[in-house]
Amino acid sequence: MRVLVQRCRNANCKVNGKIVGEIDEGLMLLVGFTDTDNKDIILKMVNKIVNLRIFPDTNGVMNLSILESKGAILSISQFTLYADTSKGNRPSYIKAMNGDKAKLLYDYFNKCLSEYVCCKTGIFGANMEITLTNIGPTTVMLER
């Protein structure tokens, strides 16, 4: 499982020109799965994300989690996080989990996040347009 975490002032996801998910300050997540991922890995990743200290405290030091900052999450499915370009210039996505299995894990991931914070999503498998204002910029890659 790979999650690209971006601290943002705001973010939204459009499908066919219509906003389907939108947040103000918080985290925008790009989420990808591989065949060895399971619910236990998701629970560990959710714990890491909600406790990741990348929000500023009163001194401006990145010392607070999204739980403490009261932010929200926009979660976007992103199979291309598993792109392999080691052989040539055309990415291979063989390491990305099959769509049906990935959707089940993606839905479970978002359900688990929702137990801690407000979690909005894009539409799995859709052609999405993502807009965000990254703060910092603060971008962290998590992998399990």
User: Which pLDDT score is estimated for 68?
Assistant: 97
Of the candidates 6, 33, 34, 78, the residue annotated as catalytic is 78
Kindly name the residue from 80, 85, 124, 133 that is annotated as catalytic. Answer: 80
Question: Catalytic residue at 78?
Answer: yes
Judge whether 79 counts as a catalytic residue: yes
Query: Which residue of the set 6, 79, 109, 121 is catalytic?
Result: 79
Please provide residue 129's backbone torsions phi and psi, each rounded to the nearest 5 degrees.
-110, 120
Domains of the chain: 2-143 (3.50.80.10)
Taking the model in full, what pTM does it have? 0.95
The question of whether 58 is a catalytic residue gets the answer no
From first to last of the 144 residues of the chain, give the pLDDT tens digit: 999 999 999 999 999 999 999 999 999 999 999 999 999 999 999 999 999 999 999 999 999 999 999 999 999 999 999 999 999 999 999 999 999 999 999 999 999 999 999 999 999 999 999 999 999 999 999 998
